[in-house]
């Protein structure tokens, strides 16, 4: 399918809106620009309407942002654990 046609179809559809959480009432694309890692989490959880509201590159970027955030959080936890365990 033509990329331009796909983009037009996506724009013609009613925009997806979050019905829960801290972004309740906000459009998915707006949240994507503010907090991509949250969109990545939504994609991991298969939240309805999120995947359909984004282009494939946007979905990949959101998933990447979520995984980067998870990796940084895990690294921070490991550093805290090592700091506590190796104190004199």
The per-residue pLDDT for range 12-54, each reduced to its tens digit, is 666 677 777 788 888 888 888 888 888 888 888 888 778 888 8
**55/7 Cα distance (integer angstroms):** 8
Contacts of residue 1, defined as CB under 8 A and 6 or more positions apart, other chains included, come to none
Strand pairing partners for 17? 27
Q: pLDDT higher for 6 or 60? A: 60
Tell which residue, 43, 48, 57, 46, has the closest CA to residue 18: 48
**pLDDT at residue 27, as a whole number:** 84
The predicted model gives 64-71 an average pLDDT of 83
Contacts of residue 10, defined as CB under 8 A and 6 or more positions apart, other chains included, come to 52, 53, 55
Residue 88 has pLDDT above 60, yes or no: no
Q: Which letter does DSSP use for residue 1 in this model?
A: -
């Amino acid at each position: 399918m033509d990329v331009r046609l796909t983009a037009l179809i996506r724009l013609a559809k009613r925009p997806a809106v979050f019905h829960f959480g801290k972004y309740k009432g906000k459009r998915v694309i707006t949240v994507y620009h503010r907090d991509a890692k949250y969109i990545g989490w939504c994609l991991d959880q298969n939240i309805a309407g999120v995947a359909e509201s984004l282009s494939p590159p946007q979905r990949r970027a959101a998933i990447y942002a979520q995984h980067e955030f998870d990796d940084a959080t895990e690294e921070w936890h490991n550093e805290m654990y090592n700091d506590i365990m190796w104190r004199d």
